[in-house]
Amino acid sequence: MYPWTGGERLNERTQVARTETNMTITAPLPEHIECHSDEDAHAAARCFLARLIGPQDTAVRWDPTYHLQGHTFVNGRELVVIAPRDDRHGTVVVTGEDWDEIHRAPPMQRQALLGSCSIASGRRLRTVTGQGVRSR
């Protein structure tokens, strides 16, 4: 038997098709970590945005497919908001352009890009959106 060919003997006319399988291995969360409901995660993200942007009523459109991903605009600039799924994670805010770059990056680079592109302070928000902060 020739296991690398599926049991067939190779000759000049035999073609072997390669099949690649993507596998995802995840470690189970510790039992004491509970995931937030979508509503609780959205509420945590809205609180974060209120601290970041100020007391303005900022509307966030939550994605119907990616439930923890939302979109809002500040000074005409699109921001992508990722709500925290559990207490071990925080809200992440990035520009729409940065989110596209993060989304297309190889998995090994995404964490570094999230760290460098994240908007976690008013100073960073003003840098990416302009001086006066107003929502639309």
> 101-122: per-residue pLDDT in tens?
998 999 999 999 999 999 999 9
Radius of gyration for the chain, computed over Cα atoms and rounded to the nearest angstrom: 22
What is the distance between the alpha carbons of residues 136 and 96, in angstroms, rounded to a whole number? 15
**Left (φ > 0), alpha (ψ -120 to 50) or beta: where does 117 sit?**
alpha
Residue with tokens 């990416």: 128
Least confident stretch, 12-16, 64-68, 75-79, 111-115: 12-16
Task: Determine if the pTM surpasses 0.85.
Answer: no
What pLDDT is stored for residue 13 in this prediction?
A: 47
User: Chain centroid to CA 92: how far?
Assistant: 8
Question: Stretch 62-67: mean pLDDT, rounded?
Answer: 92
Closest to 44 in 3D by CA, of 77, 88, 76: 88
Strands, E assignment, 1-136: 61-62, 69-74, 77-82, 92-95
Q: How sure is the predictor about 130, in pLDDT bands with cuts at 50, 70 and 90? A: confident
